[in-house]
């Protein structure tokens, strides 16, 4: 099988590394960062953390790739997914499956413009990685991946899970992946956005008096919109999950904090809190807490001229 990773940052390189290292599938990393591409091609992809390794793997720009793909794992940041799909459309035919593991939700609306629904596999991953310098990633933990073909093509979705498992990525076919996606979005939509706005760790946010009210209001909106959207969500279950997750992450600065505060980069807010605002509009449900959080994060991006 020919597997492209479209967007080979920390997470794209993690998936590409694992599949290339552990299976017979051919993996090609696609990216735009020339120094990163050159370092990988000249010196191999260096992997630190859970795995101490250096592997030979091909990297190139999307325009330099030509062979049709069996599987494309899209791993850009959410706001660049559309541009990436445009750039890789020549690699896709009716036999190509797409796997989307981006944080946030609503990406399938973009993917639907390029492939049929039965070629789209949505997923959620708790692998964690960082890209500290071009050509070198750190894989922080051993994770898992949940995946489902959202066009009802279970056979294709299970094949995607098999490829991931050949790569020892701990994947499982999930018949209700939207539940897992919404649950993760709620974690990101509470912890990530608030720590990025308040510039604190998860633990520091959870020690603030107002945290309970803020989380309660955000989750109430998520649950109401999710249920209207056909995903069966229980507010207490979500609040318990967020609280549990926060304990393990108490000393962490989540990825949105790192993007916005440490690296002055734009965030995925429109696909997290912003996504529930948009979906709320289609269901006629007001989402004032998520709306203000989305606007505040954008205001901070604008104020700091985030790139």
Task: Choose which of 75, 100, 169, 218 interacts with ligand NAD (CB under 6 A).
Answer: 75
Q: Is 11 in the site for ligand NAD (CB under 6 A)?
A: yes
Decide whether 70 or 268 has the Cβ nearer to ligand NAD: 268
Q: Is 33 in the site for ligand NAD (CB under 6 A)?
A: yes
CA triplet 187, 148, 268: central angle to 5 degrees? Answer: 35
Active site residue 266: no
Give me the residue whose beta carbon is nearest to ligand NAD.
Answer: 9
Q: Is 51 in the site for ligand NAD (CB under 6 A)?
A: no
Task: Choose which of 20, 39, 58, 78 interacts with ligand NAD (CB under 6 A).
Answer: 78
Site string for ligand NAD, 107-136 (x = CB under 6 A): ------------------x--xx-x-----
Residue corresponding to tokens 């390794």: 53
Q: Is 268 in the site for ligand NAD (CB under 6 A)?
A: yes
CA dihedral 88, 93, 99, 104 (to 10 degrees): 60
Which residues of this chain interact with ligand NAD, rule CB under 6 A? 7-12, 31, 33, 36, 75-78, 102-103, 125, 128-129, 131, 255, 268
Q: Which residues are catalytic?
A: 184
């Amino acid at each position: 099988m020919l597997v492209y990773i479209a967007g080979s940052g920390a997470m794209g390189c993690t998936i590409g590394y694992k599949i290339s290292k552990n299976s017979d599938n051919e993996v090609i990393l696609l990216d735009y960062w020339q120094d990163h591409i050159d370092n990988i091609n000249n010196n191999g992809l260096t992997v630190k953390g859970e795995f101490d390794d250096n592997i030979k793997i091909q990297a190139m720009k999307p325009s330099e790739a030509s062979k049709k793909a069996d599987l494309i794992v899209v791993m850009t940041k959410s706001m660049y997914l559309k541009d990436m799909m445009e750039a890789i459309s020549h690699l896709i035919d009716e036999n190509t499956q797409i796997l989307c593991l981006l944080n946030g939700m609503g990406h399938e609306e973009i993917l639907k413009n390029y492939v049929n629904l039965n070629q789209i596999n949505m997923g959620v991953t708790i692998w964690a990685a960082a890209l500290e310098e071009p050509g070198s990633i750190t894989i922080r933990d051993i994770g898992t991946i949940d995946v489902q073909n959202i066009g009802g093509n279970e056979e294709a979705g299970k094949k995607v899970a098999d490829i991931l498992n050949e790569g020892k990525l701990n994947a499982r076919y999930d018949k209700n992946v939207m539940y897992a996606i919404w649950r993760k979005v709620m974690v990101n939509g509470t912890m990530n956005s608030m720590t990025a706005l308040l510039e604190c760790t998860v633990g520091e946010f959870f020690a603030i008096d107002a945290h309970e009210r803020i989380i309660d209001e955000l989750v109430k909106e998520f649950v109401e919109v999710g249920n209207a959207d056909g995903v069966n969500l229980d507010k207490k279950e979500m609040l318990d999950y967020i609280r549990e997750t926060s304990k393990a992450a108490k000393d962490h600065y989540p990825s949105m904090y790192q993007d916005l505060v440490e690296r002055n980069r734009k965030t995925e807010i429109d696909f997290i809190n912003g996504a529930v605002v948009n979906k709320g509009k289609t269901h006629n449900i007001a989402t004032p807490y998520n709306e203000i959080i989305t606007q505040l994060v954008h205001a901070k991006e604008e104020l700091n001229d985030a790139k």
